[in-house]
Structure 1
C-alpha cells in the first residue's frame, strides 16, 4: 500500500506528526453542529457525523493507506521514550476533552430543530469521542510512572465515569489477561452480548476489591483520604453536577445536563469493553505444571497494524507488544508478525462484534488456525 513504499526514517517522521490526528475526534462535535446548523433537514445525519467518521470513513481510509511499515529501531527507543513531544500530546487530552464535552453540550442546546432522538444520537457521538480520547489516552497515561501522567489518566477516566479502570486494568487485567480469572478477556465462542454485562459488573467490583487489598498491604484505611478511587469518583460526580448547572444556565434542565454527561460516559466505557472483547477473543495462557499460568507474551493479544487507526489510537492496536511490555510508551510499541493478527482495524472489528454470527464466521476460524496444533484447548464461555 501507499505507506509501505516510504523509507523507514521517512515513515517514522510521518508517524511522529501523524499523531496530531488525535485532534480530529475532538473537533467532530463542533463540525457536526456547524454542518447541521448550515443545512436543511440533515440534523440526524450530522448528529451521527462523529460515529460515521470513526466507523465508516476511517476503516475505508485504513484499507487505502495500508499497514504501518516500520518498527522503531531499538537503538532509538531510549531517546524516543524520553521525548517530551509525545508525552505532552497525551497530557493535552485532559483539558481538551473537558472542553469538548462542555462545548458539545452548548452546541446541542444551540442547534435549532434538533429532535430528542437527534440529541440522543449526538450525545452518543460525543461518547464515541470519549472512548478515543478519555479512555484510550487515559489508558496510556495510567501505565506510566510519573505522578502527572498517573493523575491525568485517572482524571480522564473519571470524565467518562470509569475511574475504576485505573486500578482494575493495571493490577487485574494485566495480571490475569487471557485466563478465566479475567473479566476483560473474552472466551472462544462468547458473544459480545454475553461479555458486556459481565465486564461492566466484574470490572467495577474488582477495582474496589483490588484497591482494598492494595491499601491493606500499605496499612491504610480503605475509606480514607488516600483511597484514590474515592477522589476520582467524586470528580465524576462533580463534573456531572457542573454539567447540570451548565445546562441550567443555558435554559435547559439540570437533569438533562447530568443525563448528557452519563450517557456520553456509558457510550465511552462501552466502547472500551467492546475493544477489550476484540483484543483477547479466544486466546488463552497455558497452565504450567506449577499451577501458574505462563508469562504474558505477544501471543496473548490480537494485533492490528493499520496505520490510520494506529495514529488515532496512539498505537493501541499494537496491543500484543503493550501486554508483553506494559511500560513501553505508545511511540515505541512494535508490531509482532508472529502474534495473532486481526483481519481489519479496530473500527471495523468493533462493528463486526455487534453481529455475533458474522463475528464468529470471521474470527472463529482464525482462533482455530492459531491453535491448530493444540487439539481440545478451546472452550466456549
Structure 2
C-alpha cells in the first residue's frame, strides 16, 4: 500500500472524479457527488495527511504524464452528461447538476492548467477550448500574465493581508479579464487574437445553449460561476498576503503538501516550484516554500469564514514577510 501510494500510478486516481460525477449525474444523484467533494474528500485528505504522490522510485508501466489529457476528455464528457440531464431536470436537480459540474470543473482547471504549459500546440489548443467550456475563456492569457507579474494585484490571484475571499474573487476575475484584453499588458502592445476568438466562442456557446433550451443555458452559467469561484479561491489561497509591495523573498506562493490534494490535482499544490519553472512537468515538482496548514479541500472551507482564515494565515504571512 505504501509503495503504491508513493507510485506515480496514484495520479490515475484523479479520473475517479469525472467518471464518478458522470455516473451520479446520469442516475439523478448530483447532490451525492457534491457532498462527496465538499465533505467526504476534505476528511479523507486530512486523514491521509502529508505526502508526495511521486516520491517513490518505482518502475511504471503507465504514463502518468498523460493523466491531465485523459482527465480533460473525461471532464468534458461529464459536462456533456450534465447538459443532457439538465435539459429535463427539475429546479432542485438543475441546481444540483450545475453545482456538481462546477465543482468538477474547478478540479479540471488544475489538469487544464498543466496542459496549457505544455510545449505542444495541440494540447494548448485543447486547453483553450476547454477553458471556454469551463467559463473562463481568458484563463490562459490571464495565467501567463500572472506568471510574468506574480504578486501584482492588477493581474489577479494575489490578495493583500486582511482581504476576505468574498472581496477577492470577483475583483480578481475582473482584474484578470481587463488585464488580458489590455494592449498595455503585452510587450508588443498587441492583444492575442485567440482572446477575441475565445470570447466569441464563449458567447456563441451560451447563445446555442439558450436556443436549445433555457435550462441548458442556466446550467452553463451556473456551473461556470461555481467553477470560477473555486478557481479564484484557490488562487487566493496560493498567493494570500504575498503581494509585490511586501514580497521580499523568492517565495511567491504557499505550497500544499497533502497527498490527496496533489494526487487529485496533479501536484498543483507545489505552486512555488511551478512559478520558478513553469515549463517543469507536474511529475517533477516538489514543495519548496511555506505550506498551508491543510490540503486544498480543507482550506477551501477555511477561506469561506474570513475570521478563521485570518487566524490561520495572517501570522504565517507576517512572519514570512519580515
Among 13, 17, 22, the residue aligned to 2:14: 22
- Please, what is the CA RMSD of the aligned residues? 2.9
**Residue 347 (1) aligns with residue 297 (2):** yes
Distance in 1 between residues matched to 2:53 and 2:86, nearest whole Å: 42
Q: Report 1:1-381 matches (<5 A).
A: 6=2, 11-13=5-7, 16-33=8-25, 36=28, 46-69=29-52, 85-109=63-87, 114=90, 116-133=91-108, 135-170=109-144, 172-210=145-183, 213=186, 216=189, 227-244=193-210, 248=212, 254-285=213-244, 297=250, 299-336=251-288, 339-371=289-321, 374=322
- How far is 1:70 from its partner? 6.7
TM-score (structure 2 length as normaliser): 0.88
- How far is 1:98 from its partner? 2.5
Go from structure 1 to structure 2 and tell me whether the alpha carbon gap of 1:235 and 1:214 turns closer, same or farther (over 3 Å shift).
Answer: farther
- How far is 1:198 from its partner? 1.1
- Mark the runs of 5 or more structure 2 residues left unpaired by the alignment: none
TM-score (structure 1 length as normaliser): 0.75
Q: Give the length in aligned residue pairs.
A: 321
1:96-133: CA deviation from partner (whole Å, max 9, x where unpaired) = 3332112112234456xx4x134213211211101111
State the secondary structure of the residue aligned to 1:48: helix
Whichever of the two has the greater Rg, that structure is 1
Residue pair 1:185, 1:276 contacting (<8 A) in 2 also: yes
Task: Indicate the larger mover: 152-161 or 27-36.
Answer: 27-36
Distance in 2 between residues matched to 1:211 and 1:92, nearest whole Å: 36
Distance in 1 between residues matched to 2:39 and 2:183, nearest whole Å: 38
